[in-house]
Amino acid sequence: MKEPLKITGAEAILSSLIKENVDTIFGYPGGAIMPIYDKLFDKFHKLKHILVRHEQGAAHAAQAYAMVTGKPGVCFATSGPGATNLITGITNANLDSIPIIFITAQVSSTLLGTDAFQETDMISLSMPVTKWNYQVTKANEIADAIAKAFFFAKTGRPGPVLIDITKDAQNELTEFNYKKIKSIRSYNPKPELKDEDIRTTLLLMQSSKKPLLLAGHGILLANATGQLEAFVNKTKIPVAVTLLGKSAICEDNPYYAGMLGMHGNYAPNVLTNEADLIIAAGMRFDDRVTGDLSRYAKKARIIHIDIDKAELNKNVKADIAIHADIKDFLDEIIPAINYSADKRWLEQFRKLEKIEQEKVIHKECFPENGKIRSGEVINRLSVKTAREAIIVTDVGQNQMMGARYYKYKYPNSLITSGGLGTMGFGLPAAMGAQVGRPDKTVILITGDGGFQMTAQELGTVFQYNLPVKIVIFNNNFLGMVRQWQQLFNNNRYAETNMPTPDFPLIAKAFGIEGAVVKDRAKLDQALDKMLNHNGPHLLEVKIEKEANVFPMIYPGMAVDEIILEP
């Protein structure tokens, strides 16, 4: 009898990824992972590999790829420093609920625990920031481990998983038989929606005069944007979004009420504390949304729907805590709705919007003098791209401005670091977004500080000719930290003043077109040149040095105490 064909563990890894319809891997080779890369050499016709310049860049790129495609990202790193360089990106993905398969290499199993060269206990290190992790020491474990990894990453509340594979397991021969996993005992990723929860929700809606729907990232993760739109159009309930919930509903929708949070819009923050019913859909009541919890939404009955039971009643006590997939909930409730919110309630939002427009938005987007402001740049980009672009931000003032002043039309068109707030996220994430959606214009909005944290990824942009459009707002400050120092530390700018290099010259060194603009009269021309350029382009914009982001909820304040101007 002929013996079954055997392949190496490294081949089994790649073959397993192909079985899961993976087409792109972000990674960086090294000693312990060399067997995988050697076999990858034979698989380039099926698996595209993007060679980043730092493993953190691979993690952020994989996250953005997952966010724009709806498929899990995949990331490779070698043992020791290669694997530990992923930790920030893993944590970022974990807090933002993004499915990524991290595959790290490990020293041979005979050396485990000996402090061998580049040995690091990645299972212990990654356990707090992964949904699931596992160490493989035998080649015959690989297929099953990868199948479980994809199942865990994609189902329920999505998240990152990590498989640590020893070098001898990569070289060992094994029979290959891959089976996708459809269920795992004791793991129930799809909670059952109860009819009673639907009935109670409908009853509370019927008695509500001032309802408010809060839409979070869960709407996008559940592919429930169509259901959300149908729900608000039928009920006429104002809908506000979290930072990661941005783009869950088109901002042209007549019931769109703006963004929640510390630098969100005036109306939804103020009126949260006037609402008599809050429906929280796929959001987790983050502290940046709630402000002072002891004074949050005290007039409202609260209905909280989340697929992760741990989020229910964690920060805000709900009158009805519904453990369910938000898409299932909306599909079930929409046909049963016989309710329409009072239009006078929506008019209250419109009145407050006019106040914010006059005191903040118009001054930011249409300044009559002074230096260029970041809000006017983003507003012009919104118009020039017909709101069709994917916007990727770094973290800080640039992030808040990118969220506030681009008018999002399509789902998953804002890619940003939410829960962790990772400076340096922007450039590698823009790469991942462009790889995932080559048909889209991808624009990176970043600051001079965050850009320098991962600027080496310009090498990746150059190597793969990724046509990312990079806008660097340069105020020679760590802008958001400086804003807090101004407001709360009597202008004591301790270590936030940052001289910067010649960014266009750096871009040129990487073979990327670059330019700088400092005069408002030349801004449109510079933006047009960047957008029309065939390939990557970096535009440094010299902005107002001490401009601040408002509105703002100061630390310790209630959401309805939001400040429009200092």
d(CA 566, CA 564): 7
| Omega within 30 of 0 (cis) for the link into 551 | yes
Q: Which pLDDT belongs to residue 44?
A: 82
Instruction: Kindly state the helix (H) or strand (E) to which residue 88 belongs, with its residue range.
Output: helix 87-95
CATH number of 6-175: 3.40.50.970
Q: Are 36 and 14 in contact (CB under 8 A)?
A: yes
pLDDT at 83 over 90: yes
Residue 238 in this model has a pLDDT that exceeds 60: yes
What pLDDT is attached to residue 481? 97
Query: Whole-number mean pLDDT of the chain?
Result: 97
- C-alpha dist (Å) from residue 420 to 125, 128, 417, 509: 17, 14, 6, 31
Give residue-wise pLDDT tens across range 304-336: 999 999 999 999 999 999 999 999 999 999 999
Q: Across residues 460-470, what is the average pLDDT?
A: 98
Burial class of residue 101, CB neighbours in 10 A (0-12, 13-18, 19+): buried
- pLDDT band at residue 224, thresholds of 50, 70 and 90? very high
Rounded mean pLDDT of 505-526?
A: 98
Q: Please, which pLDDT band fits residue 445 given cuts at 50, 70 and 90?
A: very high
Q: Which of 55, 141, 376, 457 does the annotation list as catalytic?
A: 55
Which pLDDT does position 5 carry in this prediction? 82
* Residue 564 and residue 416 in contact, taking contact as beta carbons nearer than 8 Å: no
Q: What is the pLDDT of residue 467?
A: 98
pLDDT of residue 305: 98
pLDDT in tens, 350-381: 999 999 999 999 999 999 899 999 999 999 99
CA distance 322 to 197: 7
On the question of pLDDT at 42 being above 60, the answer is yes
| pLDDT at residue 154 tops 80 | yes
Residues 283, 423, 480, 530: which is the catalytic one? 480
Residues whose CB is less than 8 angstroms from the CB of residue 187 and which lie 6 or more positions away in sequence, other chains included: 152, 156
For the question of residue 118 being annotated catalytic, the response is: yes
Q: Which CATH class is domain 371-542?
A: alpha beta
CA gap 558, 429 in Å, rounded: 33
From the list 39, 131, 154, 167, the catalytic residue is: 167
CA 108 from chain centre, in angstroms, equals 35
Q: pTM here?
A: 0.97
Kindly indicate the confidence band of residue 428, based on its pLDDT and cuts at 50, 70 and 90. Answer: very high
The two three-digit tokens of residue 150, written as one number: 């994809």
Catalytic status, residue 205: no
CA-nearest of 96, 410, 68, 93 to 282 is: 96
Question: At CA 330, angle to CA 325 and CA 334, rounded to 5?
Answer: 160
Span 523-536, average pLDDT = 98
- Alpha carbons 471 and 481: distance in angstroms, whole number: 20
Q: Of the listed 34, 48, 118, 234, which one is catalytic? A: 118
pLDDT at 566 over 80: yes
DSSP letters for 346-383: HHHHHHHHHHHIIIIIHHHHS-SSSSB-HHHHHHHHHH
* pLDDT at position 1 over 60: no
Average pLDDT over residues 115-137: 97
Residues 516 and 542 sit within 8 Å (Cβ to Cβ)? yes
pLDDT at 485: 96
Residues 520-541, mean pLDDT to the nearest whole number: 98
Asked whether the beta carbons of 154 and 94 are under 8 A apart, the reply is no
Q: Could you check whether 6-175 and 195-349 share the same CATH topology?
A: yes
The per-residue pLDDT for range 260-298, each reduced to its tens digit, is 999 999 999 999 999 999 999 999 999 999 999 999 999
* 409 DSSP 8-state letter: -
pLDDT of residue 3: 66
Contacts of 136 (CB under 8 A, 6+ apart): 9, 142, 145, 163, 164, 165, 166, 169
CATH number of 195-349: 3.40.50.1220
Residues 6 or more apart whose CB falls under 8 angstroms from that of 190 comprise 155, 156, 325
User: Looking at per-residue confidence, does 346 or 566 come out higher?
Assistant: 346
Catalytic status, residue 477? no
pLDDT in tens, 394-404: 999 999 999 99
Q: From the candidates 117, 196, 354, 508, give the one annotated as an active-site residue.
A: 117
The domain spans of the chain are 6-175, 195-349, 371-542
